[in-house]
Copies of this chain bind each other. A is one copy, B any other.
């Protein structure tokens, strides 16, 4: 059940980020921290980098397992975390699962830092 993207929760209740509030609320902070948690692991950063570097824009798990020197279940686990964070998109075609960057997700994450 743990599969709702964090980065675009399909809108909160209010339309835009808080107007002139003094500081980050507890709930907002928890949401934003989830995205950074997804980035807080070297192997996940490398996964993002590998997917981004792929000319076709997408990579399957088998292409990502070897360069990271990790087992396939571990790679799948990391990819799931990145998908749940809204950073990667997963598309299954046949036996393969293709992962690609969610367009604009990295930029949006960078924006989270600006609106702290």
A contact set with B: CB distance below 8 Å: 22-24, 26, 29-30, 32-33, 36-37, 39-46, 48-50, 52-53, 67, 106-107, 109-111, 113-114, 116
Contact = CB atoms under 8 A, between A and B. Distances in A.
A53 B40 CA distance: 25
B37 A50 contact: no
A29 B42 contact: yes
Nearest to A110: B110
Counting every copy of the chain, the complex holds 2
Nearest to A22: B53
B45 A33 contact: yes
A113 B39 CA distance: 9
Contacts of A50: 22-24
Contacts of A113: 39, 106-107, 109-110
Contacts of A114: 106-107, 110
Nearest to A116: B49
Contact of A46 (B24, B41, B111): B24
